[in-house]
Amino acid sequence: MTDETIYSHEDTLKMLDSLFREEGQWWDQFYADRDKGIPFFKDSPDENLVEYFDAGHIRPGKVLELGCGGGRNAVYMARQGCSVDAVDISQAAIDWGMERARKHEVQVNFARSNIFEMNLEPGSCDLIYDSGCFHHIYPHRRASFLELVNRTLKPGGHFGLVCFAAGSMGAEITDWEVYRQRSLRGGLGFTEDTLKRFFSDFETIEFRRMRQMDQADGLFGEAFLWTALFRKNK
Ligand SMILES: C[S@@+](CC[C@H](N)C(=O)[O-])C[C@H]1O[C@@H](n2cnc3c(N)ncnc32)[C@H](O)[C@@H]1O
């Protein structure tokens, strides 16, 4: 039986997690059918990520991808010469990523884990990338998320983020309402001001909407998403 006594902040966070669905199982079911026409199931990298490399904002280095899903961005970064650790809470997602890495003949270190249960070496990453995970993080875990990114990046390292833009996609409910409803309602939408405030310890290198891409473009792009590139101070 679970010990329901709260001794620490971590115990409080775990208690709050328990109010919501079991994330790993939910995402495993989500990935069970790969042909259901979900835009990000396409085997193409984010258009903003490709631009970061093409523009020289990011150079090949050590990368951690949070919530990597089927590995489309992890595979792209490995092809650019990065050493990539890619993490997802869903085993089905990790299996898909491994298949894609084999298909593209690149090496990616995939691991099934909750991002809040990883042992990460402080100051070890040149880039942390998150495409679509942050808006699924419960508000009580947000401070831990920011701390994880800050601690794991090298000084001068980059954090790339793609997430729902309020007004175009995502639930527009307050953080308190998430707990009243016991749901993120499919992911939270954020305003530019809110995101910049969350990441105010970082320098903003670029902040814009994602460019809408067609199926034929070979890149993923949906205009209902924000894209942001932040840099940790040196
Ligand atoms: C919208 S999907 C995006 C997947 C992938 N980044 C992409 O763009 O193709 C969000 C992903 O975050 C993962 N995820 C959500 N919460 C997580 C957590 N706490 N730890 C690790 N992965 C998580 C889900 O399993 C899911 O694969």
pLDDT at 217: 84
For residue 64, what pLDDT band results from cuts at 50, 70 and 90?
very high
Q: Which domain holds residue 168?
A: 9-231
pTM of the predicted model, to two decimals? 0.97
Helices 91-104 and 23-30, axial angle in degrees (round to 10): 50
pLDDT at 13: 97
Q: How much is the average pLDDT of 26-43?
A: 96
- pLDDT, tens digit, 9 for 90 and up, residues 174-220: 999 999 999 999 999 999 999 999 999 999 999 999 999 997 789 99
> Bridge partners of 188?
171
Q: What is the DSSP string of 25-73?
A: HHHHHHTS-TTS--GGGSS--BHHHHHHHHTTSS-S-EEEEES-TT-HH
- pLDDT, tens digit, 9 for 90 and up, residues 140-175: 999 999 999 999 999 999 999 999 999 999 999 999
Three-state SS at 208: strand
- Ligand 1 pocket test, pick from 89, 100, 188 with the greatest ligand atom count within 8 Å of Cβ, gives 89
Residue 139 lies in a domain: yes
Ligand 1 pocket, CB under 6 A: 23, 27, 40, 67-70, 72, 87-90, 93, 114-115, 131-133, 136
CATH of the domain at 49: 3.40.50.150
Residue 23 lies in a domain: yes
Residue 93 lies in a domain: yes
Cross-sheet strand order for the sheet of 109-112: 109-112, 83-88, 62-66, 125-131, 153-164, 225-231, 203-209
Residue 39 lies in a domain: yes
Residue 28 lies in a domain: yes
Residue with the nearest Cα to atom 5 of ligand 1?
Answer: 69
- Rounded mean pLDDT of the chain? 97
Residue 4 lies in a domain: no
pLDDT at 53: 98
pLDDT at 112: 98
Residue 63 lies in a domain: yes
Ligand 1 atom closest to the Cα of residue 187 is 1
DSSP-derived secondary structure letter, 114: -
Residue 164 lies in a domain: yes
Compute the distance from residue 24 Cα to the ligand 1 centre, in Å: 9
Q: Mark 24-46 as b/e (b = at least 16 C-beta within 10 Å).
A: beebbeebeeeeeeeebbbebbb
- Ligand 1 pocket test, pick from 40, 63, 136 with the greatest ligand atom count within 8 Å of Cβ, gives 136
Domain count for the chain? 1
pLDDT at 234: 87
**CA pair distance 169, 202, nearest whole angstrom:** 25
pLDDT at 1 over 90: no
- pLDDT, tens digit, 9 for 90 and up, residues 106-143: 999 999 999 999 999 999 999 999 999 999 999 999 99
